[in-house]
């Protein structure tokens, strides 16, 4: 979802306040170089990426989407549920 320069400034402030003081986890489906498109070319987004990328560990997950997978078929009923109790 696109955000303007104000959104980029807010993100920069959050990252800047936490820089080298606390861990921050950021998840995204976009490469850093595309963030300028999301934040409408805001200059502060480059500074924000520089700050958190300075000491970051990138975990690139390449695989099928969990949300788009087909659900598992329903399990068959338990055998005890199929038998009628003896009277």
Rounded to an integer, the average pLDDT of 35-59 is: 77
Taking the CA of residue 8 as centre, how many other CA atoms within 13 Å lie in the half-sphere pointing to its CB?
A: 19
> Taking Cα atoms as reference points, which of 13, 7, 58, 61 lies closest to residue 36?
7
Rounded to an integer, the average pLDDT of 6-28 is: 82
Model confidence pLDDT, tens digit, residues 49-61 = 787 777 778 887 7
Rounded to an integer, the average pLDDT of 38-44 is: 73
Q: Domain locations in the chain?
A: 5-53
């Amino acid at each position: 979802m696109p955000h303007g320069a104000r959104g980029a400034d807010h993100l920069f402030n959050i990252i800047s306040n936490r820089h080298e003081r606390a861990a921050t986890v950021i998840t995204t489906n976009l490469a850093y170089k595309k963030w300028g498109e999301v934040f409408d070319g805001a200059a502060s987004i480059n500074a924000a990426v520089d700050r958190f990328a300075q000491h970051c560990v990138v975990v690139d997950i390449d695989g099928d989407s969990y949300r788009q997978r087909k659900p598992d078929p329903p399990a068959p009923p338990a055998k005890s549920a199929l038998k009628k109790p003896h009277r």
